[in-house]
Amino acid sequence: MVKVLDASRVPLSEILDRTEEQRDISGAVANILADVRQNGDAALRRYTREFDKAEPDALEVPREQLDKALADLEPGLRAVLEEAAENIRAFHRRQVQHGFVISDKPGIVLGQKVAPIEKVGVYIPGGTAPLPSTVLMDCIPAKIAGCSEIIMVSPPTCNGDIAPIILAAARIAGVDRVFRCGGAQAVAALAYGTESVPQVDKIVGPGNPFVQEAKRQVFGQVGIDMIAGPSDILVIADGKSDPRQVAADLLSQAEHAGGCAVLVTDSPALAQDAAREMERQLEDLPTRETARVSLERNGKIVLVKDIPEAVRIANALAPEHLELCLDDPFAYLGEVKNAGSIFLGRSCPEAVGDYFGGTNHTLPTEGTARFSSALSVEDFVKKSQFVYYSDAALAEAAPKIAAFARQEGLEAHARSALARSR
């Protein structure tokens, strides 16, 4: 089921290869975006009937319904969500950035101010199961950043409403308004605005390929966080690791549709034992059909000569989740160049980050950790530069500015600088 590759005998390209279903949906998404842009709420309702088989009484969820969802939540589960939310707040508060001012030259002031994005839209998938963890992960950083309005959209179930636990999580996270709509049509509503759904400045959140393609197409009209693909994990483990735990961690991402699960180890024994363990654990896994397909397409066990080689392979793959199941994971942390989130040691499974630890679980996928980062408070702010020159400071600088501008053939720029120095 899971391919076993010897890094000394196969090219790196084979190790990095990932099978994905290719389907051109750009035209269908463009049509949905145009329809919602032109027809607003009527198009939203039509697509909700067609795709979600639901007819909500109203697109917006009343505030009292969020309050009730939280009040009705089973006390033990509510306590877990609230503790997770506080962990997330504690971590993300450390990401808050402040502006600066430089005034070390006479008559010159330079600086940068940091301001929150005013309105943000957060997409929360419905799918086969509600995801309250994503509500907390995507909305709390926006709240910490100081966004004036957080608008959440999520597809309704067939009864016409959003799962109560999603609404309870929205209440905990401080979401301002919630709308019953999903898919590319919800992205369109956030990007362009409708009679009910306000237009936002940036859209964040995971979703199916239609949602991601819609985000791609509306980028420029609004900002987006990233184009999120199927989830992936790479586990680096040595012979001291428990194959039962390693297999469980690999399956945690394989149970996502299209997931990619890779074990890189210097222990042939662990490779064999982990492969057997995955087969055994699949037998009673409720999501075994999805997990099995993921493993058959994108499951790999890679044998390497040592852990430094394993880290080099991890940097090439740039995984969304990277586990270092080693005695001294901190010894290798500095060598990791490309990873969305890193889980250190044998007692820190990826699920810690998904739900409870406080780090964000909205992460770069499909190798994009080479150039992008986890969702953070920084995704919800913008930075403006400012500059001040006194008369004397400009008089001294103007000839230099003019010389630079004329070298580029921009005479009006040069004259603009010189006009104030005469």
Distance CA 351, CA 186 (A): 29
Distance CA 253, CA 234 (A): 10
Distance CA 26, CA 209 (A): 10
Return the structure tokens found at 342. 């890193």
Return the structure tokens found at 415. 């004259």
| Amino acid identity for residue 398 in this structure | A
Q: Could you say which DSSP state residue 323 is in?
A: E
Which residue matches tokens 């019953």?
Answer: 180
Distance CA 226, CA 153 (A): 17
Catalytic residues: 320-321
Sign of CA dihedral 325, 330, 331, 333: positive
Asked if residue 84 lies in contact with residue 357, where contact means CB atoms within 8 angstroms, the answer is: no
Helix (H, G, I), strand (E, B) or coil at 209: helix
Asked if residue 95 lies in contact with residue 377, where contact means CB atoms within 8 angstroms, the answer is: yes
Q: Residue 184: which of 295, 46, 279, 10 has the closest Cα? A: 46
* R_g (Cα) of the chain, nearest Å: 25
Range 67-74 contact pairs with CB under 8 angstroms and sequence separation of 24 or more: 67/171, 69/164, 69/165, 69/167, 69/168, 69/171, 70/167, 70/168, 70/171, 70/172, 72/164, 72/168, 73/164, 73/165, 73/168
